[in-house]
Amino acid sequence: MSNRWMLVLLSLLAFGTPASADLVEDPLMFVKSTADQVLSEVSSRKSELTAEPAKIYELVDQVILPRFDFVRMSRLVLGKNWKRATPEQQQAFVREFQELLIRTYATALLNYSGQEIVYLPVRAGKDVRDVVVNTQVRDVGAPAIPVDYRLMMSDNGWKVYDVSIDSISLVSNYRSSFASQIRRYKIDGLIAKLEKLNQRGG
């Protein structure tokens, strides 16, 4: 994954614990308030996190895990292969896919250097529980990068289940990549490859 994508992915870490119940009802304010809080902490702890990278995972665990619907993401990523997988294979895939994303986000944190996040109006379809939060990541001397988040309202608040960067869906991108690997290595082979990748730390 390119450094450009790494820098953009850091904004996925914007989804922390809501400050109040009211923020949960407004996905835009929810994203903005928590983004400000998380990115401020990352900036203030830059030297500490760089010196002790393991501490990044503590922050990621606190922020990412509660805010993402990894099961829904996994179902979408595997597509028709999800129903073909056994419950054990589904569970193993969710675990390894989640670990892969967490490692990616942790690396993105280390690359954060003050990029600005601009928030645009929320798009909602017929189902008001399924919305798109539009943002732009701006850096000095570079074109703005559109980053669009798909969120679903669950019993526990808003959950992120996809993100599009420059109109490229994270879910669709992984679905295409994993589908070709499943055709070649089967689902167990894909899980094994993800496990080895995670054990190597990247």
Q: What is the pLDDT of residues 100-123, one digit of tens each?
A: 988 887 777 777 777 888 999 887
Tell me the C-alpha distance between 16 and 131, whole Å.
Answer: 18
- Judge whether residue 131 has pLDDT over 80: yes
Distance of CA 90 to the CA centre of its chain: 19
Please give the average per-residue pLDDT across 89-106, as a whole number: 90
Average pLDDT over the chain, rounded to an integer = 82
79 Rama class: left (phi>0) / alpha (psi -120 to 50) / beta: left
pLDDT of res. 158: 85
| Percent of the chain residues topping a pLDDT of 70 | 85
pLDDT of res. 83: 96
Alpha helices in the chain (DSSP H): 3-9, 21-25, 27-44, 46-51, 54-67, 70-78, 80-84, 87-110, 170-200
Please give the average per-residue pLDDT across 162-178, as a whole number: 92
Tell me the C-alpha distance between 2 and 30, whole Å.
Answer: 28
pLDDT bucket at 16, cuts 50 / 70 / 90: very low
Q: 3-200 has which CATH code?
A: 3.10.450.710
